[in-house]
């Protein structure tokens, strides 16, 4: 994530939110900063909320949920479901797959090209395929 020296620190994020039709509010900017600075990552609402507390940003848990859902709707995040308990949001929105560590519930990205799929079966009548998820479950050996 390159940052141009001399620019106002949030201007990239402001533009990004505006482009997505979301008002660049204090809380959305704070969350976007945490999410999109640094390398790609996987967060839950609870994790993200914890980080806002650590940083002294005041954002309610409800807003964290709202924001994660909105960011997902506009394509800034991708929602991943691996176990039934909680939802993960992936800042890597490209087409890719996941390792799921059953013990720690941690996710790890697998590059799209590292999983080779043959031709997919035909979708049932009246439907079309919108996404293919491959989850490779791993355990400590």
Partner DNA sequence: ATTTTTTTTAGAATTATTATAAAGTATTTG
Partner DNA sequence: CAAATACTTTATAATAATTCTAAAAAAAAT
Q: Which residues bind DNA (CB under 7 A)?
A: 18, 22-28, 44-46, 58-63, 65-67, 69, 84-87
Q: What is the DSSP string of 1-58?
A: ----TTS-TTHHHHHHHHHTT----HHHHHHHHHHHSSS--EE-HHHHHHHHHHTT--
**What is the torsion angle, in degrees rounded to the nearest 10, for the CA atoms of residue 33, residue 35, residue 37 and residue 38?**
160
For 6, 8, 47, the CA distances from 91, given in Å and listed in that order, are 26, 23, 14
For 88, 94, 119, the CA distances from 139, given in Å and listed in that order, are 19, 26, 29
Minimum Å gap between C-beta 140 and DNA is 21
**2 lies in the site for a second copy, by CB under 8 A:** no
Where does this chain touch a second copy (CB under 8 A) — which range of 19-27, 34-42, 66-74, 96-104? 96-104
**37 lies in the site for a second copy, by CB under 8 A:** no
**133 lies in the site for a second copy, by CB under 8 A:** yes
Q: If contact means CB under 5 to 8 A according to the sort of partner, which of a second copy, DNA, none does residue 126 touch?
A: a second copy
Nearer to DNA, 87 or 92 (CB): 87
Out of 6, 7, 75, 85, point to the residue binding a second copy (CB under 8 A).
85
Q: How many CB atoms lie within 10 A of CB 18?
A: 11
Where does this chain touch a second copy (CB under 8 A) — which range of 28-36, 45-53, 54-62, 120-128? 120-128
**Rule CB under 8 A: which residues touch a second copy?**
81-87, 99, 101-102, 108, 110, 114-121, 123-124, 126-141
């Amino acid at each position: 994530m390159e940052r141009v020296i001399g620019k106002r620190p949030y201007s990239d994020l402001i533009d990004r939110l505006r482009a997505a039709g979301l008002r660049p509010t204090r809380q959305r900017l704070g969350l976007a900063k945490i999410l999109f600075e640094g390398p790609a990552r996987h967060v839950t609402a609870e994790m993200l909320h914890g980080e806002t507390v650590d940083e002294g940003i005041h954002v309610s848990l409800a807003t964290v949920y709202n924001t994660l859902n909105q960011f997902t709707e506009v394509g800034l995040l991708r929602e991943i479901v691996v176990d039934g308990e909680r939802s993960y949001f992936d800042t890597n929105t490209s087409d890719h797959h996941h390792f799921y560590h059953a013990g720690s519930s941690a996710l790890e990205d697998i590059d799209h090209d590292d999983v080779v799929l043959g031709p997919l079966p035909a979708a049932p009548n009246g439907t079309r395929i919108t996404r293919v998820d491959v989850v490779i479950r791993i355990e400590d050996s």
